[in-house]
């Protein structure tokens, strides 16, 4: 006689397991522990087998298999048995395929790709890639299997980004997508690379190099900074950018622990440098004074320029450029000077007044691709760089109409360096007002 729900609930445990038979090979095993387990008995090649369907819970908790559900599972199993397939093997294969499917979604593959590639990336770059995927890619194709994603899907994502005027960003996204699909192909989770198909669909556009200020423009900027009524830390940050001409990320992420104001040195660790080499920034007398002023504002924090909303991190990339916009140097109908332009400004003027290119390039922490020049370390030309950084600060004072005793370095036909006499007048060579 077939089972019913009341009979199942009334079944009590005994000292030994016993069965309550339903029909078609389905039965409920009552165990001494009180557990009630559904089983299906069947034969393949004249050999009897048992397939465990699941457990019946009186309180219908998660995982509960009701009588109706057990009968459906039995019927599905009978179809497999007629084909000579063991239900247990079929269930294991279904689980395996589902696992593969889940591991083959774009999001799963992308995260795996990041974990592998991220071992050789900086924390900052890893964060940038993760953020781009989470914002631009995952909402569109993250849950889809790799092989279900077409070039049309990729092109739509890129066009959405390009539509915001971010063509260069769209091209970078496409490169990351191509790398992720290539990884999926190598790990047998994709058969094609749709990101390669749309290569060239978005044009990156002509690179916009950072503008270098003329001495007259530099004077106007520094004078404007003196009357700037915004955040004092931001004001000091722009002045420090001018005197040290480091990259904006190197300045924004600067920690007080990196500075030795007595020795007048700023030692930036390798992990914060673009070229992954430690870098020393000799500090001029003016830069050291500026840092002491800044220390009175943020010296109790880890970072020189802490984020207002979260002081445990540093200011965003928009803060310095935002100040330049408010000063009228960046944006529409302006000269288009961004914070990164301090590097171009210093490089241009230092070349004009006769500093040796190798000293300038080393202080800019540019990667030197020459095999001959690649042998330098982070302290190369340190004496010359110390002299140059003080001369640069004095040159800025001279441009502002506050001349100092300036010492510079003069290039020779060889790699030797000799100081120019103190008190050099730079007006003729720079076109200062």
Asked whether the beta carbons of 343 and 247 are under 8 A apart, the reply is yes
Annotation marks residue 123 as catalytic: no
Beta-bridged to residue 267, according to DSSP, are: 280
- Measuring CA to CA, how many Å separate 202 from each of 151, 163, 209, 240? 13, 10, 20, 38
Beta strands in 45-168 (DSSP E): 47-56
Neighbours of 161 (CB within 10 A): 21
Annotation marks residue 340 as catalytic: yes
The set of long-range contacts for 147-152, using a CB threshold of 8 Å and a minimum separation of 24, is 147/104, 147/189, 147/190, 147/191, 147/192, 149/106, 149/194, 150/194, 151/194, 151/195, 151/197, 151/198
Annotation marks residue 343 as catalytic: yes
Asked whether the beta carbons of 108 and 99 are under 8 A apart, the reply is no
The set of long-range contacts for 228-231, using a CB threshold of 8 Å and a minimum separation of 24, is 228/323, 228/326, 228/327, 230/323, 230/326, 231/319, 231/323
Active-site residue, selected from the candidate residues 247, 279, 356, 362: 247
Beta pairing class for 279-282 and 417-419: unpaired
Active-site residue, selected from the candidate residues 31, 274, 301, 326: 274
Annotation marks residue 247 as catalytic: yes
The set of long-range contacts for 364-368, using a CB threshold of 8 Å and a minimum separation of 24, is 364/245, 365/246, 365/247, 365/273, 365/274, 365/275, 365/277, 365/279, 366/275, 367/274, 367/275
Active-site residue, selected from the candidate residues 74, 343, 356, 385: 343
Asked whether the beta carbons of 22 and 2 are under 8 A apart, the reply is yes
Neighbours of 189 (CB within 10 A): 21
Annotation marks residue 376 as catalytic: yes
Q: In this structure, what is the dihedral angle of CA atoms 142, 144, 146, 152, given to the nearest 10 degrees?
A: -90
Annotation marks residue 64 as catalytic: no
Q: Which residues are catalytic?
A: 247, 274, 340, 343, 366, 376
């Amino acid at each position: 006689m077939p089972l019913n729900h009341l009979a199942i609930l009334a079944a009590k445990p005994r000292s030994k397991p016993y069965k309550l038979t339903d029909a078609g090979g389905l039965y409920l095993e009552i165990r001494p522990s009180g557990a009630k387990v559904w089983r299906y008995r069947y034969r393949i090649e004249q050999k009897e087998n048992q397939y465990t369907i699941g457990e019946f819970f009186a309180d219908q908790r998660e995982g509960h298999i009701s009588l109706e559900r057990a009968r459906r599972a039995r019927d599905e199993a009978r179809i497999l048995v007629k084909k000579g397939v063991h239900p247990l093997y079929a269930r294991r294969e279904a689980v395996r395929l589902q696992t593969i499917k889940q591991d083959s979604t774009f999001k799963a593959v992308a995260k795996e790709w990041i974990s592998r590639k991220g071992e050789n990336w900086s924390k900052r770059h890893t964060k940038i890639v993760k953020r781009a995927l989470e914002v631009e890619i995952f909402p569109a194709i993250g849950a889809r299997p790799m092989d279900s994603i077409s070039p049309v899907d990729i092109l739509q994502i890129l066009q959405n980004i390009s539509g915001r005027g971010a063509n260069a960003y769209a091209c970078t996204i496409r490169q990351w997508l191509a790398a992720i699909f290539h990884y999926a192909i190598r790990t047998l989770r994709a058969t094609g690379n749709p990101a390669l198909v749309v290569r060239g669909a978005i044009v990156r556009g002509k690179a916009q190099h950072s503008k270098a200020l003329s001495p007259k423009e530099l004077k106007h900027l520094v004078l404007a900074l003196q009357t700037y009524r915004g955040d004092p830390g931001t004001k000091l940050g722009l002045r420090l950018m001018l005197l040290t001409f480091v990259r904006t990320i190197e300045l924004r992420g600067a920690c007080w622990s990196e500075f030795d104001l007595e020795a007048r040195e700023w030692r930036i660790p390798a992990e914060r440098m673009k070229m992954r080499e430690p870098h020393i920034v000799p500090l001029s007398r003016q830069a050291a004074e500026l840092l002491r002023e800044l220390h009175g504002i943020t010296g109790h924090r880890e970072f020189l320029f802490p984020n207002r909303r979260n002081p445990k991190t540093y200011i965003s990339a928009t803060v310095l450029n935002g100040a330049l916009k408010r000063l009228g140097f960046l944006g529409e109908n302006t000269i288009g000077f961004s914070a990164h332009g301090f590097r171009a400004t210093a490089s241009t003027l230092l070349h004009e007044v006769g500093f040796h290119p190798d000293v300038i390039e080393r202080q800019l922490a540019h990667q030197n691709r020459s095999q001959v020049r690649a042998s330098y370390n982070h302290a190369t030309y340190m004496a010359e760089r110390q002299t140059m950084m003080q001369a640069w600060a004095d040159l800025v004072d001279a441009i502002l109409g506050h001349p100092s005793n300036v010492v510079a370095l003069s290039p020779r036909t060889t790699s030797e360096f000799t100081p120019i006499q103190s008190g050099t007048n730079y007006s003729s060579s720079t076109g200062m007002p």
